[in-house]
């Protein structure tokens, strides 16, 4: 998602090209559709954060598998965890 879309969703006025757009921007912020998009964006962020957390857990699991195998290759036996 581009930074422009994120700025609009987050209600960041700095994204405006021209201050004459303020009125339109305010209308957008007050619209029911915007409230729905903002709510949905928070759900999206939560889902993405959950995925990132799971990816980190899987990376740690992968590192442990590699470490265990390297130990076994070096010592000729499985490591006692």
Burial of 41 (0-12, 13-18, 19+ CB in 10 A): middle
| Residue whose entry in the numeric block shows the structure tokens 């590699």 | 66
The answer to whether 7 touches 35, Cβ cutoff 8 Å, is no
The candidate with the shortest Cα–Cα distance to 38, out of 30, 49, 48, is 30
pTM of structure: 0.69
- Per residue in 23-67, pLDDT (tens digit) is 999 999 999 999 999 999 999 999 999 999 999 999 999 999 999
């Amino acid at each position: 998602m581009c930074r422009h879309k994120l700025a609009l969703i987050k209600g960041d006025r700095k994204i405006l090209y021209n201050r004459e757009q303020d009125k339109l921007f305010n209308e957008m912020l007050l619209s029911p559709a915007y409230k729905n998009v903002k709510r949905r964006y928070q759900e999206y962020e939560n889902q993405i954060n959950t995925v990132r957390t799971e990816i980190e857990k899987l990376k740690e699991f992968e590192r442990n598998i590699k470490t265990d195998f390297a130990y076994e290759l070096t010592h000729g036996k499985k490591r006692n965890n």
